[in-house]
Homo-oligomer: A and B are copies of this chain.
Amino acid sequence: MPRTSFKFQNQPKILGSGSVGGKLEKEGPLGTYFDITAEDTKFNATSWEKAESEMARIATEFALHSASLGESDIDAIFAGDLMNQCTASSFGLKTMKVPYFGLYGACSTFALSLGLGGMAVNSGFCEKTICTASSHFCSAERQYRFPIEYGNQRTPTSQTTVTGCGAVILGQSGENKPVVSEFMPGFIQDLKIDDVNNMGAAMAPAAFDTIHRYFLLSEKRPDDFSLILTGDLGGEGKEILLDLCDAASLPLGENYNDCGLMIYDQNKQDVHAGGSGCGCSASVFCGYIMKLFEENEHFDVLLIGTGALLSPTTALQKESIPGIAHLVRITK
């Protein structure tokens, strides 16, 4: 039952990246690392949903530009988001004349896109792919919870959907670039958490399962890595993951952090348990982590995208919240 990770022998390279953040993200500790930030949460569009599409378009264009490539160089797009029917990505990227693969992994979508995009490049089916994911606080809030104008009070364990997008270009060749070296896909885990204001608790068991399987089947130890990053467990989920790891004698160590806790200043910004959403790990990776890859000669990161596979309908129908976590290793 425990399955090994997919090893990408041909080392798909990250040739370029683009990251977009909103106002709150710009004001956070990683604000200066994003390639593009906007004071206007609508990104000059006429709705928040269209703004999210605009972020997907901008991040992808920036990523192409940073790799000195055009859309005709790209063989496939792997993209997804949280909007119903994944329309943020499909509308944002619909003018590109490139084969389009729509993904849905909830907040784990960016890691999923890196994993499947990496597989496509590694196997030679694609020379270059775009991998991208996005989320927007306002479009998510009114789709999943309440109209923004309602001014809903949020519980301490609730998280703040990141207004952000990240896109990378993967390619078969490139000098001195980080490579996607491994992909350990996740199983769906359902530990019967049913509090829709506590996604961290729903996702932490999935993160643990994937991380635990990875280290069980790998010769690596947690302190072999420069960074181990979960996508958006937030404060609550991070504590649960650390407890689960302790109980399994798998100390994650000082190099472990969660993108949802890195993107905001918990003391100064009113974000409750931290950031969440597809755009959280996508923008932190493409903004901040890519800069660390540029600054360091050797750098080795495990990114564990975490997703809660619920919908408002499943919650109303009293279903619990299944989680999933996909791990990708990025090495330089």
**Bound complex: CA A75 to CA B83 (Å):** 28
Distance, CA A78 to CA B210, complexed state (A)? 18
Q: Smallest CB-CB separation from A319: which chain B residue?
A: B91
A87-B188 contact, Cβ under 8 Å, with A112-B102, A125-B6: no
Which stretch in A36-44, A114-122, A223-231, A242-250 binds the other chain? Answer: A114-122
Q: Which residues of B contact A82 (CB under 8 A)?
A: 85
In the assembly, what is the distance between CA of A98 and CA of B84, in Å?
25
Cα distance A253–B317 when bound, in Å?
Answer: 48
CA separation between A98 and B157, bound complex, in Å? 30
Assuming A104-B80, A104-B103, is B97 touching A1 (CB within 8 A)?
yes
CB distance from A167 to the nearest CB of B (A): 16
Q: Which 4 A-B pairs have the closest CB atoms?
A: A123-B123, A99-B185, A85-B311, A102-B104
- A148 at the B interface (CB under 8 A): no
Q: Tell me, in angstroms, the Cα distance from A22 to B317 when the chains sit together.
A: 22
Oligomeric state, in number of copies?
A: 2
- Tell me how far the C-beta of A311 lies from the nearest C-beta in chain B, rounded to whole angstroms: 4
With contacts A103-B103, A104-B104 known, is A94 near B310, CB below 8 A? no
Q: How far is the CB of A57 from chain B (nearest CB, A)?
A: 12
Do B97 and A310 touch (CB < 8 A)?
A: no
Contact (Cβ within 8 A) B185 A76:
yes
> Known: A3-B75, A96-B188, A317-B49. Is A101-B116 also a contact (CB below 8 A)?
yes
- CB interface residues, A 130-150, toward B, < 8 Å: 143
Distance to closest chain B CB from A235 (angstroms): 24
Is A18 located at the chain interface by the 8 A CB criterion?
A: no
- A sample of 24 inter-chain contacts (CB < 8 A) reads A1-B72, A1-B97, A3-B99, A83-B313, A84-B312, A85-B309, A90-B309, A90-B324, A94-B322, A98-B187, A99-B186, A100-B188, A101-B112, A101-B116, A102-B104, A102-B106, A102-B112, A102-B309, A103-B104, A104-B104, A119-B119, A119-B125, A123-B123, A123-B124
